[in-house]
């Protein structure tokens, strides 16, 4: 197929960007060709056409340039990269218009306001392995954050994966071929399915230059491998964004030694920032505590929840601030009202920095800056250290506000190329051209009247057409009065048309006025934008302080609204909570009152709480509650309790609930054992461990043995503060100086059972599983049969129990279809088949096949096949 010069230009541009979908500007459209066209038409539902008429040979599709952002956002949201090729030369010039890639939009570098979620960061991360160390570099270019972490030792890969889960980034760069690539891919496929991969063959070739370009000496890494990782990430950002990124000017080191470590399992199990249902914010701890008024504050609160503090001093500083805000309603209300008017500073500044901000962004910045004096005034008399530091860090920008007030109209349009964004009175030249454009008819009438008077031609009139422009028309009867300064342009049947120097000058002004207005307005806008950029660092710092104030005010509002109390932070290794409540569950309960419970864990007389009791009685809720209250205290939040003294923990480990990782082929029991292995390997005496029903995924004796061994290991080797819930009542004999038995109080009245949801000292002697089955709606025949079997099992011991089950009388057959079904359920051939199955080793597909066979067998035995 012979290619036109334009198509040759397209293919050459595409060859330079093979991993991106190329949006190629042709007039008022972005066009895509060949494979790109096929992909885009399928993903966006666009019609596939062709310039040659044969869409099989040269498929093509396109989108209007003014609506391209919507289409690009959809593609990027699905993991694609989009390269934008714009017309650089004059499209009216002869020959082929020059086109160049102006930016590449990727999932981790998207800056479009409509594509970003206000309360969520949009991170991009890079992973780099060197000398058995793993380096993580990351950034959110929409907010200006940049950070790195170094992971060493035997747990380095797990620490990396935990960090990636917290970041939940849509794009991950991998340098070279790390030894853990398979495990990394498996983890992201399972936990971060929307994350796209970008591979980099080698590190940056200008490491030191990149680091010096962006960061001052105080924040540059000491480690060479960290410099290499950060510089390589910056290279990629410059290659894609293709604009100034000086707002990435502060580099943060992820120092795990300063924070309570929360691994992936715990973050998921406790539903701290993402729920298990759909990964959203609803019904999470973040959802409960989020009374923030700014997008910056909401993002920072999420970060505090995922990185709780470890040391008592900074925790108490935050608690002091929350206490001051809780007690001072006027201060809290004033700050919340001011913060409510503040737009997303961080992302506004980024759009200004990279040159994508429009006039509406500048108005949003002006409104935000105008709120700062009010915040300063409200904080004039604050006493707590953190609030005092925030007050000192919040600057006012009166000169900028004045500039924006004078220059930008209050309700500008979105486009910068259509005018109407600069106020009248700001620039004299602009005002003059506007007067010309606005008063053109009056000025034209003025010229016409003046010419009539000067020439004496009463029928003279001024007109306009696209061919000749403006002209003076005189009927033939008046041509003898036409002065010499008139230049004839056209002869008509009954008139002559002329031009004059004045009319030509007027025409030039009129026709060029609108274009000139737009250009002047754009130039003035960029001048204002550059003035703002000169103070970008100072505004960024103020934005950060505003976010802290917003989070502290949010925590104070939550404390006031929900009746939370300030925990007393200690260093004695004790967690002592009086009448603690679950922060999520108590919010969800509408008809019942939440039953509070006490907790006392220490290294002297109650290191392990061994909790027994029935299902649905509240054991799991209670254990989650202790973990969540400890975490809340360590972010500097008040907690739902009557009173509490909490010593910070270095890690919170949880093993709660039954969840199959079917994608990775792991059964419930394997998942459970993996999580327990992690806990036993990395927990310390300063950790808080939550274990729920260990061993239930295997046989009774196997499970009981594992559960006992785990408790013994924690008591003798780990010494972590532990809450251990179990159905194995036999484990209650482990009670000693450090292991204490607790149970959920139950009230029985005849056959009626009430779960009091109160944790009390002692052990339970029943599980009440059949009662729970009855509440769940199992048929009476089934629960009755279960009671008979249970009675037989409880009357025998050890090996005699199996024989006792066989002696239990089967229900007498009744002439009803339900009895026929029960009879077939316990028929000998079907029972033998069921007993022969090794369920715990079967894959989901094998299990479905066996279930189908069993159903067919049951039909045959019931005479239905």
Please check whether residue 315 is in contact with residue 645, taking contact to mean a CB–CB distance below 8 angstroms: no
Closest to 267 measured CA to CA, from 619, 625, 623, 653: 653
- Cα radius of gyration (the chain): 37
Please check whether residue 37 is in contact with residue 60, taking contact to mean a CB–CB distance below 8 angstroms: yes
Distance CA 580, CA 564 (A): 10
What H or E segment, with its residue span, contains residue 632?
helix 619-635
Task: Give the C-alpha distances (Å, rounded to integers) separating 666 from 658, 669, 845.
Answer: 12, 8, 13
Distance CA 617, CA 635 (A): 30
b/e per residue 509-547 (b: at least 16 CB within 10 A): bbeebeebbbebbbebbeebbeebbeebeebbebbbbbb
Please check whether residue 287 is in contact with residue 626, taking contact to mean a CB–CB distance below 8 angstroms: no
613 is in an annotated binding site: yes
813 is in an annotated binding site: no
Please check whether residue 350 is in contact with residue 141, taking contact to mean a CB–CB distance below 8 angstroms: yes
Distance CA 518, CA 524 (A): 10
| Torsion region of 126: left, alpha or beta (phi above 0 gives left; psi -120 to 50 gives alpha) | beta
Q: Which two tokens stand for residue 445?
A: 């009438």
Distance CA 330, CA 378 (A): 9
Please check whether residue 652 is in contact with residue 624, taking contact to mean a CB–CB distance below 8 angstroms: no
616 is in an annotated binding site: yes
89 is in an annotated binding site: no
Task: Give the C-alpha distances (Å, rounded to integers) separating 113 from 69, 143, 414, 738.
Answer: 10, 12, 12, 56
Distance CA 237, CA 111 (A): 12
563 is in an annotated binding site: no
Distance CA 577, CA 567 (A): 9
- Determine the Cα angle at 618 with ends 614 and 624, to 5°: 130
Q: Which two tokens stand for residue 216?
A: 């001052």
**Residues 6+ positions from 823 with CB-CB distance below 8 Å:** 813
620 is in an annotated binding site: yes
618 is in an annotated binding site: yes
Q: Is 609 helix (H, G, I), strand (E, B) or coil?
A: strand
Binding residues: 613-620
Binding residues for ATP: 613-620
């Amino acid at each position: 197929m012979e290619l036109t010069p334009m198509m040759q230009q397209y293919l050459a541009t595409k060859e330079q960007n093979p991993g991106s979908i190329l949006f190629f500007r042709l007039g008022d459209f972005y066009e895509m060709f060949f494979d790109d066209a096929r992909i885009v038409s399928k993903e966006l539902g666009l019609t596939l056409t062709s310039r040659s008429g044969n869409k099989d040979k040269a498929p093509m599709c396109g989108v209007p340039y003014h609506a391209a952002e919507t289409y690009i956002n959809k593609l990027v949201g699905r993991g694609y990269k989009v390269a934008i090729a714009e017309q650089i030369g004059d499209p009216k010039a002869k020959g082929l218009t020059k086109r160049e890639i102006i930016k590449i939009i990727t999932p981790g570098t998207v800056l479009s306001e409509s594509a970003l979620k206000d309360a969520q960061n949009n991170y991009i991360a890079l992973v780099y392995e060197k000398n058995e160390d793993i380096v993580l570099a990351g950034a959110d270019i929409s907010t200006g954050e940049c950070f790195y972490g170094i992971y060493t030792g035997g747990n380095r890969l797990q620490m990396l994966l935990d960090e990636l889960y917290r970041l939940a980034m849509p794009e991950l760069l991998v340098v070279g071929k790390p030894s853990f690539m398979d495990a990394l891919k498996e983890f992201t496929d399972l936990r971060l399915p929307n994350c796209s991969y970008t591979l980099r063959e080698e590190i940056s070739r200008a490491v030191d230059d990149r680091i010096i370009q962006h960061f001052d000496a105080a924040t540059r890494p000491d480690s060479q491998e960290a410099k290499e990782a950060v510089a390589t990430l910056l290279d990629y950002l410059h290659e894609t964004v293709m604009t100034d990124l000086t707002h990435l000017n502060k580099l943060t080191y992820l120092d795990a030694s300063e924070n309570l470590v929360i691994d992936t399992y715990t973050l998921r199990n406790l539903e701290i920032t993402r729920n298990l249902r759909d990964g959203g914010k609803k019904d999470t701890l973040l959802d409960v505590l989020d009374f923030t008024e700014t997008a910056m504050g909401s993002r920072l609160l999420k970060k505090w929840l995922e990185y709780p503090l470890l040391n008592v001093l900074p925790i108490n500083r935050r608690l002091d601030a929350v206490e001051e805000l809780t007690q001072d309603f006027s201060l809290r209300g004033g700050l919340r009202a001011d913060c409510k008017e503040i737009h997303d500073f961080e992302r506004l500044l980024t759009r200004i920095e990279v040159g994508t901000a429009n006039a509406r962004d500048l108005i949003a910045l002006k409104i935000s800056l105008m709120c700062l004096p009010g915040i300063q005034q409200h904080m004039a008399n604050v006493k707590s250290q953190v609030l005092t530091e925030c007050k000192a860090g919040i600057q006012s920008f009166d000169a900028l506000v004045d500039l924006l007030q004078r220059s930008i109209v209050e309700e500008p349009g979105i486009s910068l190329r259509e005018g109407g964004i600069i106020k009248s009175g700001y620039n004299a030249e602009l005002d003059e051209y506007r007067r010309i454009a606005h008063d053109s008819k009056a000025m034209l009438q003025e010229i016409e009247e003046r010419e009539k008077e000067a020439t004496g031609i009463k029928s003279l009139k001024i007109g306009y057409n696209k061919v000749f422009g403006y002209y003076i028309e005189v009927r033939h009867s008046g041509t003898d009065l036409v002065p010499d300064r008139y230049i004839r342009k056209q002869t008509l049947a009954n008139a002559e048309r002329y031009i004059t120097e004045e009319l030509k000058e007027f025409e030039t002004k009129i026709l060029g006025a609108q274009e000139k207005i737009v250009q002047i307005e754009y130039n003035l806008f960029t001048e204002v934008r550059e003035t703002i950029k000169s103070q970008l660092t100072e505004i960024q710092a103020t934005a950060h302080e505003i976010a802290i104030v917003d989070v502290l005010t949010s925590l104070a509002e939550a404390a006031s609204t929900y009746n939370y109390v300030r925990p007393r932070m200690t260093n004695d290794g004790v967690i002592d909570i009086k009448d603690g409540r679950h922060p999520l569950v108590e919010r969800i309960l509408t008809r019942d009152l939440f039953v509070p419970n006490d907790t006392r864990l220490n290294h002297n007389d109650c290191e392990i709480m061994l909790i027994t009791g029935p299902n649905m009685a509240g054991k799991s809720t209670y254990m989650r509650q202790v973990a969540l209250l400890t975490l809340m205290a360590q972010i500097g939040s008040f907690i739902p309790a009557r009173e509490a003294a909490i010593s910070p923990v270095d890690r919170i480990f949880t093993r709660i609930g039954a969840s199959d990782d079917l994608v990775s082929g792991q059964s419930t029991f394997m998942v459970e054992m993996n999580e327990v292995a992690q806990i036993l390997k990395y927990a310390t005496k300063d950790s808080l461990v939550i274990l729920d029903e260990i061993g239930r995924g295997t046989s009774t004796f196997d499970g009981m043995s594992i559960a006992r061994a785990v408790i013994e290991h924690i008591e003798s080797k780990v010494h972590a503060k532990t809450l251990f819930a179990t159905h194995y009542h036999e484990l209650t004999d482990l009670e000693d100086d450090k292991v204490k038995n607790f149970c959920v109080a139950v009230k029985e009245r005849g056959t009626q059972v009430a779960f009091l949801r109160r944790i009390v000292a002692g052990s339970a002697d029943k599980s009440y599983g059949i009662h729970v089955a009855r509440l769940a709606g199992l048929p009476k025949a089934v629960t009755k049969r279960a009671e008979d079997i249970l009675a037989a099992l409880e009357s025998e011991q050890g090996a005699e129990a199996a024989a006792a089950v066989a002696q239990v009388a089967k229900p007498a057959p009744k002439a009803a279809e339900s009895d026929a079904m029960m009879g077939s359920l316990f028929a000998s051939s079907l029972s033998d088949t069921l007993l022969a199955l090794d369920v715990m080793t079967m894959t989901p597909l094998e299990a479905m096949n066996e279930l189908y066979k069993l159903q067919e067998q049951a039909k045959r035995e019931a005479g239905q096949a």
